[in-house]
Structure 1
Amino acid sequence: MMSRWSRPIAAFSLFALGLLPGTATAAPCGNNGSGFAAWKAAFAQEAARAGVGNRGLQALANAQYASRTIAADRNQKSFKYSLDKFMQVRGASTIVAQGRTRKARNPQFYNALEQRYGVPAGVLIAIHGMETGFGGFMGDSRVVSAITTLAYDCRRSAFFVPHAIGALKLVDQGTITGDTRGAKHGELGHTQFLPGNALKYGVDANGDGRVDFYDQADALASTANYLRQKGWQPGQGYQEGQPNFRAIREWNAAGVYQKAIAIMAAEIDAGG
């Protein structure tokens, strides 16, 4: 867990971040790393206005342009597959088999989540399996560097800027650090929350006083809370064309992913 220091940033760091008078207040997005430092200086002012504190601003100052993140963002081939091919490539049959075992092993946990949020076990388990292989690999990219790189990159800057602010606020809170590792697009934890969503929908399910997306209970409860807040209707169906499919669509924008989650979830729940 991050140490809760609150030491003021040194004057030279404030100058580098663009927080002293006379420095630039805006920088354009870019398509390579050459403008990242200037963008960070301008973004620091925006982040400070949004309520980011010293720890978050220091994490921003230390962020590095994430070339691997940009490469991954330009090469998301699996979402272009047919549904059958996507499910084969992503190991759907294994996720279903392991998911049934996980549900049978801990039914009280999943029942408690469904009672509170209305989301069936199969949906949460399918997402967990699809995102990280049930926590087997939660990413090796620095979350802050990845998400700020995407906020700077011209391709989808507007989408990622709020998540970059969210990541810096998570650093302020001690939920993550500048070195916390996640997926190449800055997603974190067992179910790969984007930082802005983590900030908004995170739940302390294990009662230890903090939200930890690398703790399974917190991550799955947060996922259930997200879906409920996005319109999940308890007791309603979640296949394509049914009321709760819209909430699954909120989780991931790729149609093939949405359909795969719905299909796997039904198979997991049908297995007991």
Structure 2
Amino acid sequence: MIRFVFSFCFLILAVPVSAAPCGNTSAGFDAWKADFARTAQRAGVGQRGLQALAGARYSTGTIAADRNQKSFRYSLEKFMQIRGAATIVNQGRQRKTRDAAFYAALEQRFGVPAGVIIAIHGMETGFGRFMGDSPVVSAIVTLAFDCRRSEFFIPHAIGALKLVDRGSITPDTKGAKHGELGHTQFLPGNAMTYGVDANGDGRVDFYDQSDALASTAHYLRQKGWRPGQPYGKGTHNYTVLKEWNAASVYQESLSIMGAQIDR
């Protein structure tokens, strides 16, 4: 039987914005970090997190990725093609059959069907085959400094530093270009808030498949998922998928693939 041990550490999102100015290049990054360290400390970040912040480097790769998210402008058909939807569905059905008890336990506890969780897992990391090659702390701190979406990413930067404090990640842990981590690519602030210890080992590890998938189901349920209800386009649960990814082409792809896996 799957054990679900909840380990929540709620992140206060009303983090005061750092007084040092944001930037659109690396200029001023070190001065901003020094100022942001005081903000982080006031938000409860400890010594290990502060050391990780001090060691964070400006990530030019993250900025390049943030400025060039072309795939979300594709048609639905093209988007699903480049994301390998057919492969995700085929492999997803096999995974659902192989690990039927695990997915049934997830749905019983959180009300989210296997198809949706499996589709997210496949879309985000190819079922864990590639979870990113960018240092999470440097990526998310860079985005907190960058002027384009600084206020959005500052709470996630605080979350990443607290994850370092907890030992959930290290300053060298790798994730996606925007600082997302683990099997389903949680942003660090969301990882702090919605993390679930599914295997009962006393810690939440987003690089452990069980923890990551249970956390994903918990996230959707907390965002308003209605158990037993459909999730096709036009339904309430379809709108909840927007909480996972705001791109409409992504939401529709998830709903289609999830239904095909669950068929």
Normalising by structure 2, what TM-score? 0.93
Partner residue, 1:106: 99
Residues 188-245 of structure 1: CA deviation (Å, up to 9, x unaligned):
0000000000000000000000000000000000000000000011011111211111
**Correspondences of 1:60-79 after superposition (within 5 Å):** 60-79=53-72
Partner residue, 2:145: 152
Partner residue, 1:263: 256
* Matched position secondary structure for 1:114: helix
Whichever residue aligns with residue 108 of structure 2, its letter is Q
Partner residue, 1:139: 132
Partner residue, 1:92: 85
* Matched position secondary structure for 1:134: coil
Partner residue, 1:164: 157
Whichever residue aligns with residue 238 of structure 1, its letter is Y
Provide the C-alpha distance between the structure 1 equivalents of 2:146 and 2:251, rounded to a whole number of angstroms: 26
Whichever residue aligns with residue 85 of structure 2, its letter is A
Provide the C-alpha distance between the structure 2 equivalents of 1:126 and 1:77, rounded to a whole number of angstroms: 21
Identity of aligned residues (%): 75
Partner residue, 1:5: none
Partner residue, 2:12: none
- 1:190 correspondence with 2:177: no
Residues 244-271 of structure 1: CA deviation (Å, up to 9, x unaligned):
112211001111001100100000000x
Give the number of the structure whose alpha-carbon radius of gyration is greater.
Answer: 1
Residues 48-71 of structure 1: CA deviation (Å, up to 9, x unaligned):
110001010000000000000000
Partner residue, 1:9: none
| Cα offset, 1:26, TM superposition | 2.3
- 1:219 correspondence with 2:203: no
- 1:237 correspondence with 2:230: yes
Provide the C-alpha distance between the structure 2 equivalents of 1:255 and 1:166, rounded to a whole number of angstroms: 27
Query: Paired residues, what number?
Result: 246
Q: Aligned-pair RMSD on alpha carbons?
A: 0.7
Provide the C-alpha distance between the structure 1 equivalents of 2:83 and 2:123, rounded to a whole number of angstroms: 7
Q: Which stretches in structure 1 are left out of the alignment for 5+ residues?
A: 1-24
Provide the C-alpha distance between the structure 2 equivalents of 1:26 and 1:119, rounded to a whole number of angstroms: 41
Provide the C-alpha distance between the structure 2 equivalents of 1:238 and 1:38, rounded to a whole number of angstroms: 47
Normalising by structure 1, what TM-score? 0.90
Partner residue, 1:14: none
Residues 78-111 of structure 1: CA deviation (Å, up to 9, x unaligned):
0000111100111000000000010011100000
- 1:56 correspondence with 2:39: no
- 1:26 correspondence with 2:19: yes
Q: Stretches of 4+ moved more than 6 A in 1?
A: none
Q: Which stretches in structure 2 are left out of the alignment for 5+ residues?
A: 1-17
Provide the C-alpha distance between the structure 1 equivalents of 2:200 and 2:59, rounded to a whole number of angstroms: 35
